[in-house]
Amino acid sequence: MILIANWKAYVEDTKKAAVLLKLAKRLARASEATMVIAPPAPFLSLLAHKERALAFAAQDVSLTTGGATTGESTAQAYVSAGATYAIIGHSERRAMGDSMADVAQKLSHALAHELRPVLCIGEKERDSDGRYLAHIREQLDSALRHLSQKERKQIILAYEPIWAIG
- Which residues are designated catalytic? 90, 160
Return the sign of the alpha-carbon dihedral for residues 138, 112, 118, 154.
positive
Distance of alpha carbon 162 from alpha carbon 32, whole angstroms: 29
Rounded (5°) CA angle 97-99-105: 120
E strand or H helix at 117: strand 116-121
In sign, the C-alpha dihedral spanning 62, 66, 69, 70 is: positive
Contact 39, 11 (CB under 8 A): yes
Cα separation values, 104 from 61, 78, 110, Å: 12, 18, 10
